[in-house]
Structure formats: C-alpha cells, structure tokens
Structure 1
Amino acid sequence: MPSSRGSSVARRPRRPRPKPGPGSPPATPTRSRSEGLRRRARRRWRNPPVSPPQSQVTAMQIALSSLRPGHHPDAPAGVVNVRKTGRDAGLEALAASINTLGLIQPLVVVPGGDGYHYVVDGNRRHAALESLVAAGKLEPHSKVPATECDAGIAREAGLAANINQSPMHEADQVEAYAELRRAGMKEKDIAARFGQPVAQVRKLLALGGVSPAVLDAWRAGKVRAEDVRTFTLAPSHADQDRVLAAVLKDGRTWSIREKLCLDGSVGHLLSYVGAKAYKAAGGTVVEDLFGGSDVVSDRALLQRLVDERLDAECERRAKEGWGWAAKGADLAPGWRWSWPRLKDGQRPFSAEEQARYDELQAYLDADDDDATDEAIAAAHAEVAAIEAAARIPLGAEDRARSGVVVTLGADGKIAVEPYVVRPEDVPAKPEPAAPAEPEEKGLSSALIDRLSEQATRAVQATLPSSPKAGLAILLAGALCEHRGAGPVHVTLGGLGGAQAQLHNTGSFDAVLAGLLARPVDELLEVAAVVAGHAVNLHHYNRSAPATRPSALALMGALDPDAMKTALDDAFDGEGFFKAAPKGVILQIVEEVLGEAEARRVKDHKKSDLVRFAVASVLPTGWLPAEIRHPGYDGPGSARPAEQTLAAAA
C-alpha cells in the first residue's frame, strides 16, 4: 500500500525492541501500521463526526416581495408550516417590535423554483413584516436576513425551531420591562416598541417593580402571579419583604393583603369623591391595576369626604319639598325592607273603562288557539294603558309627609329612594278590643320560654361566683350522652353564647401557651364564664326548668344565696302577671296570701288583679314554681308561713 505521506518522505527507522529476560511478562503482539490505519477507518465509519450539512444551509438577504408563507398552496413538496394553531396571535405586538428593533432572528426559507422562497420557520415574523408593508412602514422590496435550506430538511427545520424554543418566565419579562423604565424609557415608548397598550405596560411595570425577593419567590414557585399583584399595593419594598418572609414561614399566602394592613375595597368611595379631590384633601392613592381594590392612605379622610358630599345631597333634596332627607347609613338597620313607602293612588274605573278592562281580561284568560302573539301583546298593552290612565301619581303633599333616603352604591353612584315613611310618622292604629280571657289554667308555652330565659340568665350571673361548679358543669356538658338535649352546650350554643366575645385572637398554640401560663384559680374563673355562655335552660318540648332533673341539678350546684339574688334580678314579675291567665294569678294569691285573700280579689278586673299581685305577692320573694331552684325558700317552699306573711307586710 502506498504511503499516505507520499513516496518522497523518508520512513523513520524502527527502534529495536529489547529481548525479554527471564520472568518478564509476555510481549504484546506487534501491529503493522497499515492494520492501525484500517482500524481507525472502521471507527470513523461507525461513528461519523456530527456537523451541519454546510452545503445545504446558506445565509442570505432576501427581498420581501419574493417570500411566500410555508403553507402557501404552491410551496414545494415537503415545505410546510408546522405551526397551525395561533399563527395570527400577537402579530400586532410582533410587528411593533420588528419595526423598532428590526428582524433579529433570520427567516428559514426554501427555494421554490418559481422565483419565490417559501418560509419554513418564521411565518409569524413573515406575516408581521407583510403587515408593516401594508401599513407603509416597509417597502415591498426591502431585504431581510434569511437562511436558505434544502427542501429535504424543511419539515425537520420548522419542527425543531418550534419545539426547542423555551418560553421566558413571566418574572423575567416584567423585570426586563422595569429595567427599561428605570433606564429612562417612558411608558408610551415601551408600549410602542412592543406593540402593547399603555394600560398593559403599566401593569407589567408594576409587577416588575416589586421587591427582588418577591420576584425570586415567584420564579421559585413559592408565590403565585396573583400574590405578586397584591404585593404591588404595598407602600415599600421593606413591607413587601417583611410580609413575604411571614407568608413563606406560615404558608398562608392568602393572608398577604391582611398582613399588608390593606383596608377593604374603597373603590366605590374613591369613585364617588374622585381621586383628584381626595389627593387635594391630603390623601394618597395606590391604584390597584389588576382588581380595582385601590388603597388609600387615610380611609377616615375618604369617608369624611363621602359623608360631606352625601350630606350636601340630602340638603339639596330636602329643599325639593320632602318632609326629610337622610343618608341610608344614618338610619336604623333594616329600614330598606321594614319602613313603608307611599304608592300611587288609583281612581275607580269609569263604566266604559271597566267594561273594556273586563273584556280584555276575559280575552287574555281564554284558551284561544287562534289568538296571535301580536293580538295578545296588543291586549296587554291596552290593559296597561287603562290602568295607567286611572293611576293618581303622588304629589307635593305626599312628599311633605314622607322622605327620601340617599345611599352610595357599590358602583360609586348614589341611589335615591323616594316616598319613604319613618315608623314614627305612620298613623297609629286604634287599639284592638281586648280578647276574651283564656279559660285554661296552665301557663302558655311563650310564658314558659320567658321563664326559661330568666332562669338561664340567673344561672349565668351566678356561675362566676362558683368557679369550681362552673368547671364541673362545663366538663359534664362535654362528656355526657345526648349533649344536645342537656342544659349545657359546650359549643357555646347557650343563650347569647354565639354573640359572646370569648375567643382569643391568635393561633391555637399561642392561645394555649397563654392559658398554660395562668394559675389554676384563674382557669377556674375562665371556665365558669365559658360555662355560663354554654347554658340554655330552654327545652325542645317547652318544659319548665324546674320540672327537669338536669336543670334542677345544674341550679342546685350553684351558691344558693347568689342564685336567689340573680333570679330576683332576672325575674320580671309584672310582665309575668300580665301574661298569666286570671285563674293562675288567683292560685298564686291563694298560695302566698291565703284562701281568704284570694276570695276577696277574685272579682277584680285583670288589670286590677295584676296591680294587686305586683304590690302584694312579689315583695314576699315568691317565684313561679317553674323556675324555683333547690335553694329556693320563698312562698311554696318549706319555710315557715309567718316569714312569708311578714315579707308580704
């Protein structure tokens, strides 16, 4: 085989190999040079070098007029636009960017043999360039950079270009926008360069202007885009970093707004007053670009400006002849649905109107299959016209005896509710005739409910003086069977329990640590108060407290003197006698003052009998049997009769 170096190059003399001595390892077989060349050739054939086919790719400048999209019907075989979805999305912004910065990434094209080149990769860029030509911003023969390739690799080139591109993280995008703004570029210039509305650019700049720590947390997936939008309302990066550290620690990203101490929405208030007027009064506004929940520096100032404008509106309305005008916020809760309104009057129909009205109603009520939609609509319109003609509208006198309420709606616009009548202006109705006195001898369910409530309040007032009993009651209510039917509801479902302000603020572990730091005596007092708000002596079957062993056991566990004092304070004796039947009152007089006294007053009127019982029975310390506790010692108990009579005297 001839030498690859040429025959003129002398061969290098071989180095003599030493002969192996005794104990030497066997010599490696020698290999000829030609055999080594053949082995290297075989390795190159099995693993050919990876390099682009330079003969198939050519950089060039090409005129726009000679370009066609890859999905053009005349494109050569194998040339396609692999992107079929979203070809036209965002072309306006892309065109604005190309117009400002030029075509940064060359098009990849394939010659068609008909004088045109067909775009394999970059069809959206090509469409944006065409739109610039149509707008007169580029000449049709303007040249753009392109890379020409063979039709054989056209599909692969387009597919690779679309698959291998990696979208930019949104945090990186907004930070880049913010850097442009910090470099001195104005919002409208950024919008023009990238084909974005100015309002959208303002949002991007707000996001990019948050703390770098917030942006890093966004990139790392620790906060969401909506969380970053909330951070844009913070007054400083220091506040953002403080709240970010807190939410990353407790994981409560939903509490960012709360931790930033941002008030509830004031958008409707600010819309009514106007941001300019609020700023002129000394306030500052942080605009919420994403949700309309603007933040103001002084909500009290804003509310004062709103009230001043509403008061002025009320004064203006009052001069129109209304009896009164007021803001809805100044009225009693529930005025909107509980206060009456004046309505238009209605005169009687004339004979002709009544006849025609009845005729039309009969026609509309009839089941006539031949009636057309037009005829039915005309009948309804005529009925409405007859009713409108007979309507008597409200006038000046009606305004004078009613008022107008001015409210501010959620849209920042005022609403006026006319002809509202205050409760004190409603004419008093005559007192109805007194109903016949009931013949039944027992107490009504409503009266037993009132007594149960009074006994409940007495127990609640007594429990703080019996803290040990309070703790026992509380635990018994938690451990006994059928807790819903017992007298203690540990869920604080007792009388007034749901409204009790007993809950500490803070997490469970913080509240627990605070309670553990207290001595046992203080815990017992706390338990007694909690137990009081769990008590409810009402019963589902309307039975009286003193008839139920559980209620009696509860009241008997308390200090008797304190229970007696609390029941005396809670019991409404006059109200009881007014609601009780006459026969029941006479039985009570007989029980407390004797049979002779009951016979003497049995013919009294109910009102006179009530006054007698209030003056003579209540001073004895008497309580209805339905709420007598185990420590009760008044009339009807085991105490001597002379003590009762002495109390009555």
Structure 2
Amino acid sequence: MATVTQKITLSSSRDIPFNKLVLSQSNVRRVKAGISIEALAESIVRRGLIQSLHVRPVVDADGQETGMFEVPAGGRRYRALELLVKQKRLNKTAPVPCVVSEAGGDILIDEVSLAENIERAPLHPLDQFRAFQALREKGMAEEEIAAAFFVDVKVVKQRLKLVSVSPALLDIYAEDNMTLEQLMAFTVSDDHARQEQVWEAIRNSWSKEPYQIRRMLTEDAVRASDKRAIFVGIEAYKEAGGIIMRDLFQSDDGGWLQDPVLLDRLVSDKLKGAAGEIAEEGWKWIEVAVSFPYGHDHGLRELVGTPVDLTDEERTAREALREEFDRLESEYAEADELPDEIDRRLGEIEAALNVFERRPMTYNPQEIAQAGVFLSIDADGSLLVERGYVRPEDETPVESEGGDGAETEAASGDPDTPGVQRTVITVGGQSTEPDDEDDSDAIKPLPERLITELTAHRTLALRDAVAGNPHVAMTALLHKLVRDCFGIRASGTSLDAMVREIHLPMQASDLSDSPSAKSVDERHRAWKADLPLGEDDDALWDWLDKLDEASRQALLAHCVSFGVNALYERPNPYSAMGISQHGLDQRLREADRLTRATGLDLVEAGWRPTVDNYLGRVTKARILEAVREALGEGKAQLIDHLKKGDMAREAERLLADTGWLPEPLRLADPDGDPAEVDTEAGDEELPAFLADTDEDEHLVAAE
C-alpha cells in the first residue's frame, strides 16, 4: 500500500497597517549586530522593504484576536519602520507586508524568532565581491556602492581588490579549499600565473600562512620602507613610471615597489648627483655605494677637521631647544607615561639638537687634495657623507735628509699655485667617467675589485690543479711542515698542520659555472659520499688507514688544495688585520710556483675574456691593448672608433680563441724577464660593419 505524503500549508501573507503592529517580547535578538537601525531605515527608503515581517495575532484572555499583531521575527525591520514613522517619512497607517502565523499554532513564538535569525545564511564574501563588481561595471563608484550598502569604502575596496586574484584561486576558495585570509594575501600581486605557481608550491605544505604567501609574491619587490625607496622618494619613483603594490588587507608600510631596476637607477642617479656636488670641494676620490661593509674605512687615516662655527641665530635656536627639552622633561618627570604629543615633541627636539652636533667640518685644502669621501645611504634613508679618509698609497712621502725636496714639493703642491685635480668618483668599484674619457691612450691601473675577481678564478683553477697532482700536493704540505718545524715552532700541539678553506669574498658572476668550480665540487661530493662522516673519529681513522696508496694520495691532494690561496687583496700596513705588502708578494710568488709545478694553463682551464668578467670592466685603452697584444695593431685599429659597449662586445668575439690573459692571470717570469711573444699571424673573420684588412695579426703569449 502506497504511503501518502502529507502536504504542508504555508502561512498566508497580507498587508497590515504599521500602527497595528507591536514588537514581541519573545524576539531573541537583544544585542545590536550588523548595520545600525538608522542605516537599515535608509536602506528601506532607498529600496523599500525587501523582506516581509513575520507576525502573529495578539489574543486576549479568552483567546480572541484583538486586531493587533506582534512581531517575533523582523524586529530590526520593525524598529527601522518605527524610526521612519517618527521622522514623518512614513505614514503610521502605511501597509506593511507580513507573513501571518496562526494564533494558536503548535510552534512556540520563541522558536520562530530563533529560527529566523539562526537559519539566515550570511552572504559569502565571494558573492559579495561579485555583487560589488557587477555594480562597479554598471558605473557605480566605490563611494556610491559603500553608501548604498551602508558599509565603509574600505570594505568595498577590499572586496573589489579580489578581482586581481586568479579565477582558478577564486574557485578553490569557493570550494572551501582555501581560507579568506589566504585568498586576500594573493591580492598583493596582479600576476595570475605567479599566484597559481605560489599556491601550487605551498598547497600541500605545512607553511601556507598569509604572510608566507605575501612574502613569496613580493620577493622580487622592494618595500616602500626600504632605505633606497625613502632616499629616492615614492613620488619621484612614481613620476619615473614606477608601480607600487598595496595590500588593502594588512598594514604594508606603504606597499612594495615593483620595479627594483628603476629604483636602483634612480638611487644611482641621485647618489651620482650628490657625489658631483661634493666633488666641487676638491677631494681626490669619492666612493659611492648604497651601503658599505663594516670596516670599510679600516687601514685608512682619518683627517682631523674643525667644526664650522655656529652663527648667532643658530646658537639662539640651539639654546631655545635645550631649554624647551629641559622644561618638558622636568614637567613630566613624575608621569608614568608621556602623552603622545609630548613624546613626539621630545623626539623632534632631540633630532634638531643632533643636527647641531653633527656640524660640517673644515679641512686643510692640501689634505683635501689627497683624501677622499665615502658616500652612501644611511639606515633612515638620508644621505650619509663620510669625509676625510686618506689611503696608504696617497700619503705624502717623507722628505729625506739632504734632499732638495723638489719631488716632495711637486707631489704636495704649492699652496700659492694649486694644480687642477679632478675627483675620481667610483660607484660600486666602477668609475663614473663617460666613455669619452676612455679615449685617452694612457693605460690606467686595473680596478682592485676586478683584480680580486680575476685572481679568484686563478685560485679555484689552481685548487683543481693541485688536487689532481698528489706529488705537488705532498711537496706543498711537506714544504709547509718543514718551514714550521725548522723555523718558528708552535707549542702546545702535537702537529701544527692545518688546512683552512680560503673564502673567496669577491667573485665574478661566472665563477660558480666555471669548469674549475664544477670539477672541485664534483670531486668534493664524491669523497663526501665515501667518507664515514656520520660515525666516530676512530671509524674515520680506520677507513683512512685501509685506503690504498693511490686513493690516500688523491684524498690528500684534494684536502690540501682547499688551502690554496692565490687571491689579490689590498695590503694593510697600518694594522695586524689583513695582509702586508710583503705577505701579498710572498703569496703570489708561491702561487706562481704552484702554477708551474702543476702545469696549470688557465686557458685550458676554461677562462676566456668576456664583457662581464673583464672587457666591460676596463677602459677603452685596456680593451685595445688586449686586442693589440693578442691579434696585432691591425685588429685594434678596426675597433678603436667604436663606443665602449660595442668595442667590448667585438673584442670578446675577437679574443675568444686567442689564449689571451689579463696581467693578474699571467704567470710571472721567475727571472723577471718579459714573456716571449709569439708573432704567428692569425686571420680573424670580422663583422660586416668593419672594414676588411690584409694586415697580419700577432698573437702575444699569455703564459
């Protein structure tokens, strides 16, 4: 027998005059939540009553309807209508749409009120975003949307910001596979592909907090609070075409600058401009950098200057600030906590007094002519100028007794007839002189940083060569031990022999990809995989003891090679820190000896002159010198008319297979004689824009 489903009957609806309605005391809502009654009233004025009231007839003691109706569900709407009546904006007899329940129904009136409030589902944030977006596309401004829905403009901006999120991520959020906080974190970037890439990287990770998402999306950007951004100024960055990413959902300290290349160019230009102004003071050199490493002035002599005197007005202002500072400190001495405005004012006074303390210094013009300046950006984004440092090589030589002093006088200069000196400005170790300055035929010394980078290549190649020659490695170690044993003997140890890996502080960008680096790393990984490093020291001893002689020598050579040091570094004659000139000369002589013993050829080891590692880092005169040495005057003349960038690129092509090496990589002749020159000619195919030549080219021996 079929079961008959009982049909339900819905409550009837009708319009009831407002003055026939009363608020039920059974309404469960007591605490104010959501938008205010005033805002709801304005919404009713704008759109009408969107949702009917739920009412029930009021009955007397005999159970008879009185003609009045109580409102158990819809109390806030009732109060909004009541407010409009009081404001004379709604007639008190105006009909109100109502759903009417039976007076004697089985459902308690409290249950109706509770169900009406609990079962109402709030609008999903994604639906809210799409609704706001639809209104925005129909021409409504963000302020109008906010006013229409009685929310803060910031809420509308935040929801509309979700348009920058990838649709794929919106779908993931809609399926509850992502939190709203995580979704909002993706709004810091407009790159949908990058957003999806970040989500794929973290979706199965334990670390997928919103801050982690923001960090990954902004790792290539620069914070507006970065000292470089403060130094340049956000407005200047924007005027130059820079874009700033903002996070509407979190405090972002001004956002992120998305074009770090543009920012670095603006920083460089501003620093160069400041350096040009300081150069007018007559300094010999100016080093410019965003920041200098700790101890950058180590080994330099600092000039003693005289502070510029304060003017009468400045003295008066300083005393007034001191008096105000003392008065405020005394007035609030007993206070547990300073008021914000007083604390801020004290900070302003301290900053102003510090300016008076950091008075500009005056120096002797003759001292300025031999000293320099470090120019950088301070931690707070201000320009940091450190004046008056003398390099050891710029010190005035002491006049010997009995000498006529002509050379000293010429070096120091006659104060009555001062010579003209151009300040040498370097940014990041590179000269800021324009290309036209390179037209000079004079060969200037190589930059120290470039020499260090070149000798880092040589050091790594030499390590690889020593590791491949156990006989030389054994000789080098024995040489060290004999010197220690028969020279100055250390005490307190059974064997004073140690290999310490030499750190390469300055490296060219191509060093890690060089054949030498790959060979050293591959050999090190292979030995590391074989060694019982996870066990105790006795196990290591036993393992080494059982090695065959060839393996023992190979391992010894590998370990000894890590102590090879052929690096150039600036000698420091003023302190025990660093290396002396004698020590540097000794290091390089021993490096040459190892080079001869191992038969190292840096050309065979893979070094080639390129724009990045040499040619783009030196003057035009140096480029032409390299081509001239390797290929002869004819080839040098073919490129001497080019701009420096084009000249460097063309020189790279010409020198590719010549075996030419710069001076720091050449093997010095032990007898001090110049290296022999191989004048064997070599024809080189030139690009179409260069004229052909029939002259012979001559190759200069690089080793």
Shorter-chain-normalised TM-score: which range? 0.3 to 0.5
Identify, as 1 or 2, the structure richer in helix: 1
Give the structure-2-normalised TM-score.
0.41
Give the structure-1-normalised TM-score.
0.44
Kindly name which structure, 1 or 2, has the bigger radius of gyration based on alpha carbons. Answer: 1
